[in-house]
Amino acid sequence: MKIQWLGHACFAITHKGYTIVIDPYNSDYTAGYPKLRIKADKLLVSHEHFGHNFREGVLLSGRPESDCPFTITELTVPHEFKMGNWRGFCKIHILEADGFKLVHMGDLGTQLDGGQISRLFGADVCMICAGSATALPSQEAKRATDEIMAKVIIPMHYRDGSRGAHRLEGVEDFAYHFESPEFVHRYETDTFEVTHDMEPQLAILKYLGPDAWGELLQTEEAKAPGLLGRLFGKKK
């Protein structure tokens, strides 16, 4: 199983040849990132903001739901401390397969309640906003990962050089709250391999852009069959 960070809050999660993309961004509203044109078998969107819902950038394969190796559940949470009255709500997605639990926290803006903690508890991987601003402040985001006792934490949705809104904090503001330097791992790749013996850590992935996306990239050959498949409902 592998998790590939495609920038901002967007990830491609692949297991047994099946790829799920979560929260594709619209580059017109997400500073510094290139146009997103990728392929996937399934698409998940945490909420209807432009940095998370660019469905037009994801070409779906048309594979049946029965091919998906994951059990997927959702938790609806407020986007901000005003309990959804300002920025609305978003979904936390929980993906489970072969004994693994992966959690994409969306734009969580409030602390978790007891029931939510119970549902997320023991996550093998937690992808969480680290840039504050429109989500939890970095210290509170760290507290949320502590409460669910996530084994591996992958930060997302932060200012990364010239990428990301200026109001977002950088990832180091989030990493600062992890007291043990040995816990913080900085990778030279955008991909994390999920295994049963992986080391507990804060895994800071490196954005590499479309050159590293390989088979995820749309091609001219793929566009026509994908469109016909959607029009005529054929399995490819």
Average pLDDT over residues 19-25: 96
Q: Give percent above pLDDT 90 in the chain.
A: 64
Share the mean pLDDT of the chain.
87
Q: In the β-sheet with 71-78, what is the strand arrangement from edge to edge?
A: 71-78, 89-97, 100-104, 125-129, 152-156, 201-204, 184-186
Q: What's the mean pLDDT in 130-155? A: 90
How many CB atoms within 10 Å of residue 225?
14
Per-residue pLDDT of 44-69, as tens digits, reads 998 776 777 899 999 999 999 999 99
Listed residue (230, 224, 234, 130) closest to 184, CA to CA: 130
pLDDT attached to residue 104: 96
- Alpha carbon 201 to chain centroid distance? 17
DSSP state of 103: E
Decide: helix, strand or coil at residue 171: helix
Residue 200 predicted with pLDDT over 50: yes
pLDDT at residue 1 greater than cutoff 60: yes
Tell me what pLDDT residue 87 has.
Answer: 58
CA atoms within 13 A on the CB side of 164: 23
What pLDDT is attached to residue 79? 58
pLDDT of residue 231: 39
Structural domains of the chain, with CATH? 2-232 (3.60.15.10)
What string of DSSP letters covers 104-153? E-TT--S---HHHHHHHTT-SEEEEE-S-TTS--HHHHHHHHHHTT-SEE
φ, ψ dihedrals at 65, nearest 5°: -60, -30
Mean pLDDT for the stretch of residues 141-166: 92
Name the more confident of 140 and 219. 140
